[in-house]
Chains A and B, each alone.
Chain A
Amino acid sequence: QVQLAESGGGVVQPGASLRLSCAASGFDFSRYGMHWVRQAPGKGLEWLAVIWYDGSNKNYADSVKGRFTISRDNSKNTLYLQMNSLRAEDTAVYFCASVYQPGATFLGSWGQGTLVTVSS
């Protein structure tokens, strides 16, 4: 079955950078588009970014465009989110999610999330 495991979260100061990873297993990662979504404490879900199965296309929410970069290494079955110039409002649990099936665009399976806290 699909398993997604995020890592790389932690406490960082404003202005710092952080890279999140999402290790995928149980499915053919190289055929699935992948998303990042976050959830600030006590708030709703915010979609952040999507990357096509082969990395050929990426899209971002306006709130993170220019600061966050989504990427993937299909040889390592791993998705990444490079986060730069972090702000207090980026404090959230960050989830990775796979699309439902190859060719689909909506989110099917989710990881359990990793917490990022931006604080001085």
Chain B
Amino acid sequence: DIQMTQSPSTLSASVGDRVNISCRASQTISSWLAWYQQRPGKAPNLLIYKASYLESGVPSRFSASGSGTEFTLTINSLQPDDFATYYCQQYSTNSYTFGPGTKLEI
């Protein structure tokens, strides 16, 4: 099975900052990667699919890049709503592994 890792596990930042979250796959997954945001007590929300495609309605301060095994989620000009946990997920195989998550905190 493909294993997913994320770094850092926790990220401290301030409103207005730019942050990067990394996601790595244990083997190549081409661009079959999605990013989700989850706020406490809520269901996850899709942000990015196919590694870099922004889901409709997601603010343009979110962007993502990568292919193969290395991926990055970037959030520009952090807003208070952005402090949440972010997960990557591969869908290259029929075992849709999530990364362990990155908690973005103030």
Q: Does B89 contact A (CB under 8 A)?
A: yes
Q: Does B100 contact A (CB under 8 A)?
A: yes
Task: Name the one of A46, A61, A105 contacting B91, with C-beta atoms under 8 angstroms.
Answer: A105
Q: Does A62 contact B (CB under 8 A)?
A: yes
Q: Establish whether residues A46 and B34, one from each chain, have CB atoms under 8 Å apart when the complex forms.
A: no
Q: Helix, strand, loop or mixed for chain A's interface?
A: strand
Q: Establish whether residues B91 and A106, one from each chain, have CB atoms under 8 Å apart when the complex forms.
A: yes
Q: Helix, strand, loop or mixed for chain B's interface?
A: loop
Q: Establish whether residues A110 and B44, one from each chain, have CB atoms under 8 Å apart when the complex forms.
A: yes
Q: Does B83 contact A (CB under 8 A)?
A: no
Interface string of A18-43 (1 = CB under 8 A from B): 00000000000000000101000000
Q: A103-120: which have CB < 8 Å to B?
A: 105-113
Q: Does B97 contact A (CB under 8 A)?
A: yes
Given contacts A44-B101, A45-B98, A107-B44, 16 further A-B contacts (CB under 8 A): A44-B98, A44-B99, A44-B100, A45-B38, A45-B87, A47-B98, A61-B95, A62-B1, A62-B95, A100-B46, A105-B91, A106-B46, A106-B91, A107-B34, A108-B46, A110-B44
- CB-CB under 8 A for A106 and B89, given A35-B96, A62-B1, A100-B49: yes
Q: Does A95 contact B (CB under 8 A)?
A: yes
Task: Name the one of B38, B42, B49, B95 contacting A47, with C-beta atoms under 8 angstroms.
Answer: B95
Question: Which residues in A have some Cβ–Cβ distance to B below 8 Å?
Answer: 35, 37, 44-47, 50, 59, 61-62, 95, 100, 105-113
A106: chain B residues at CB < 8 Å are 32, 34, 46, 49, 89, 91, 96
Interface string of B64-78 (1 = CB under 8 A from A): 000000000000000
